[in-house]
Structure formats: C-alpha cells, structure tokens
Structure 1
Amino acid sequence: MPRDKCPRGPRCDVGQPWAVSLSEPVPFGQSRAVGIGSTDGIGTLLSAVMHRFLVIALGLIGVFSDSYAQSVSVQEVAADRRLWPVQVTVRVPVKVATLVAGKPTGSIEVPAGRLFRVVRVEPTRLLLDFSGSQAVVSPSDTDLLELATARKAQLAAAPPPATPAPATPRPVAAPPSLQQGVIAKAIASDLVALDGDQVKPVPGAALDPVKYYAFYFSASWCGPCRRFTPQLAAFYRELKPKHPEFELVFVSSDRSEPEMERYMKEAGMPWPALEFRSIRSNRTVTKHAGPGIPCLVLVDADGKVLSHSYDGETYVGPSKVVKDIAQLLQKKS
C-alpha cells in the first residue's frame, strides 16, 4: 500500500500512524504521525498499541483494587452484625442432628449446596441452623464472605441516615450491691424486663437474693425456640415465687433490639433480659453459649456451670437443664 494511502482514503483522521506524510513539516514542540512504511512509523504504531494496552491494564488494576478494598474478612464480619446474611449456601455436605421434642434422635447428612440460616458468625467458625438443627462449619465452606462483601458495598452506597431527634434517655438502673457475686455484678446494670407493653430497666438490687442463674439463649427466628419458650415460661411462673434465690435471664440472638423486644412481648417473657446493646460485650455471659439454640445454661452466683444444654459438642437440649433446676432448688429448700 502506498505510504500516502490507507483503506479510508488518501488522508486519514489525526491520530492514525499514517495521518500525515513524512515530508510534511511539523512545528517544533508538536508531535506528528509518521508513515507506517518507515522505521519510525513502525515504532510509533507499536507505541500506540502499548499505550492502549497500558490503559486497559491500568483500568483492570483499578477494578481489582476496588474489589479488594471492598472485600471483607471473617473477623470483620463477626464484629459487625450488619454484614451477617440471613442465610448462606454451604458448599460441602454437613451432618446435622435430627430432633424430636427438642431431643436428638439421630443425624442426617445435608448435601452440598443447601441454604442454612445464620445463627452466629465467629472469627473461626460459623454457627448455622437447618430446619431447627444446629451445625458448625468453616466460613470458607460457605458463601459468607461474598454475601458480606456485597452487603458492605450496599451499605457504603446508601445515603447517610437523617439525624434522629434526641431520644428520651432511659432511666439508669440502680447499681448492684457490693455483696453480689460475679454474675450479678456483670449483668445488674444491663437488665431489662417487660412492664406492661414496654421494656424497662431492672433495678440492680433485684438480684441481691439470687444465688443461681439460668441463661436462656434464644431468638425470635428460631422455630424450636418458639416452641420451647412457652414451656419454659410456665415452669418459671410456677417456680419463681417459691424460689427468689433463682433467676432466669434471656440472652437474645436476634439481629436487632426491636426484634428482641417484639419477641419478649409476643412470648410474654416473665423473666428479665440482657439489654441488646450489652450482649456482645458481656463475655461473662456469652462465654456460656453453646453452638446452637435454644440453649439453657444453669450457673451459680460466681459463674460455675451446674447444667448445660450441651454435653461437650453433643446437644442434650434445654429440657434436661429444666429438670436439673427443679432438682437443685428442691434440695436447697
């Protein structure tokens, strides 16, 4: 092909390697395109190709950099409940217990690819629920991080919330007595309870006579919990008036304070609850939680475990703890 011609005619648009003839002068300080037939022309063409490649490569690097910046770690997800998905897909087969009336009767293997409800996210494990049965899996065996990363991006793109009107401060509960044990001192300032249709703080002095505590780990979204809670409430209403030395405390696994308070009202919970905002930070209580719910744990005033819904990693159920509470208090009376 002649140097002064190209498929688009004798003169091409500015920017093409053959746009002007080598014989045309170019003012000092300005660039010019050169003929493709010359050595300079080939170099210029290669430079253009490399430039385009560099632009594309930098664009891809930017995309991957943005994706990396938005990705999350399991530790970050565990620390921020806003990133917890409602369900995850488990990529490996998982064995779960089969339950009848809250008691394990065997086990089944759930095939890979099934959805599990998220109960709790921890830095090294994921606690899940499948049709009322609990399972513990590695976060890497699920799509947790993909879902959490998408949720983080969604939160980042959301407009900032409007500044709320100043809330009416809640009354502060009375401080616990100096004679109270480890458990009372850890929870007395953070207890709330139903008072009619409102949730109000519980005075710390209410725990002065208490020597035994039952922590009830439960949630509104948990089917087995909803079936067991009425039985536990009936037991509590009969037992509590006779035994002021005993108290039961609800520890919610709900995702928000409104969900927790709605559950308390719907179930008519007659016992106090650990205030929602204090649950995650109260290791004195949460260290007793089992891998799944419903979970009932009986401890003494200093936190010594007397009965638990889990025997090691085996789920024996909360009904066993209810019987142990009754037997213990009967012996002490």
Structure 2
Amino acid sequence: MRSEWLLALALLLTMPASAADTLHAQVSASLMQPAERTLEPMQWPRPPRLLALYVGANWCGPCHAFMPTLRALRDALREAGADTEVVYISQDESEAALRRYMHQQQMPWPVLDPRRAARMPQLQALAGPAPPNLVLIDAQGNVLANGWHGRRYDGLQPVLKEWWKRACAQEGARCAATPP
C-alpha cells in the first residue's frame, strides 16, 4: 500500500501543471492597484505574455535607485508594442508603506496582493533573500530570468537584457536596437 501511495505521489509531482496553476496565472489572479487609503482588486482584460516581477520595498535604497531604469525599460517596451508588464511584489511590512513607495516612485503597474503573495511558495522562493530583484516569466509560468540564483545574486542587468531580448522578439514589437 505504501509503495502504491509513493508511486501515485511521484506521478502527481511529474505531471505538468494546468494553465490555472502556473505562476503567471496565480499572479494575474491576485492583482491590486493602490487607492488613496487601500488596495483595490484589479484584472487585466488579457494578461500580458511576459511579466517582470519586481521585488522591492520602500525601505530599500537600491530599490529606489533602480526605479528609473525599470520604468524607462518598461515604457520603451510597451511603446514598441511588446506585450509585457511589471508587477510589483512588495517586501514592505505594511500596506501603507507599499502604497507610499508606489506613489513616490509613480509606479503605473499593479502590485501583487501581499496576503496572497505570502501564500505562494514558488514566488517566495524566486524572490530571493533581499530586494531588489526582478524575475521574468512567460505566459506558461516559465522562469526566463532571475536576479537571484539560490543565495547567489547575479544582479538586475542580466534580467533586464533578457527581458528586452524576449519582448523585442515578440511578433509586432518594434524595438530600438538598444534598450534605453
């Protein structure tokens, strides 16, 4: 009986996840937008093909320094017609700090519901031990690039380059030769 149970568990773990179980789908179903005093649920009419998950915090100096670069690249890709968006993953200790950071940095993208983010082990593992981080995922939930690899930090530049390459390769995208 025990061996049958172990075999069943092994088969279950090797089965591909359904589309509803992908990280992309989980993130898309958990989006919020800041309002004056709270976060409000939001939905995309159609989720973007590429998501750049930005892990940051209001208390993180390097996060503030990175924001102009992130915003410029995201805006350039969207202006070029790439089907992509950023989702903010907050490491702040309060919703007020999260909203303050988004407002200060003029983030035009959604934030992942912090309560739901805490219950996404795959996301928590990808976020890395400290912000800032950027994780690029496709519509199937595949991780295409990540600034953290376990406890080793490769930084944000390799993720930005991969994001530019993948987004510009999309049909209909009209990107400049080099990123901003």
Q: TM-score range by the shorter chain?
A: 0.7 to 0.9
- SS of the equivalent of 1:317 reads coil
Name 1:245's counterpart in structure 2. 83
Which moved further from structure 2: 248-257 or 315-324? 315-324
2:111 maps to a residue whose letter is A
Report the CA distance between 1:187 and its aligned residue: 2.3
Q: After superposition, what is the alpha-carbon deviation per residue over 1:121-174, rounded to whole angstroms, capped at 9, x for unaligned?
A: xxxxxxxxxxxxxxxxxxxxxxxxxxxxxxxxxxxxxxxxxxxxxxxxxxxxxx
| Cα 1:303–1:320 shift into 2, 3 Å | same
Report the CA distance between 1:225 and its aligned residue: 0.7
CA RMSD in angstroms comes to 2.5
- Please tell me whether residue 282 in structure 1 is matched to residue 140 in structure 2: no
- How does the TM-score come out when normalised to structure 1? 0.42
Does structure 2 retain, via aligned residues, the 8 Å contact 1:194–1:269? Answer: no
Rounded Cα–Cα distance in structure 1 between residues aligned with 2:78 and 2:36: 19
| Cα 1:256–1:198 shift into 2, 3 Å | closer
Does structure 1 retain, via aligned residues, the 8 Å contact 2:86–2:109? Answer: yes
Among 290, 296, 304, the alignment partner of 2:134 is: 296
Name 2:26's counterpart in structure 1. 186
Report the CA distance between 1:204 and its aligned residue: 4.4
Does structure 1 retain, via aligned residues, the 8 Å contact 2:24–2:138? Answer: no
Gaps of 5+ in 1: 1-177
Higher relative contact order (CA 8 A, sep 6+): 2
Name 2:170's counterpart in structure 1. 332
- How does the TM-score come out when normalised to structure 2? 0.74
Among 97, 100, 103, the alignment partner of 1:259 is: 97
Rounded Cα–Cα distance in structure 1 between residues aligned with 2:36 and 2:78: 19
How many corresponding residue pairs?
154
Which runs of structure 1 show a deviation greater than 3 angstroms over 4 or more consecutive aligned residues? 178-181, 194-200, 241-244
Radius of gyration: which is bigger? 1
- SS of the equivalent of 1:288 reads helix
Name 1:6's counterpart in structure 2. none
- SS of the equivalent of 1:205 reads coil
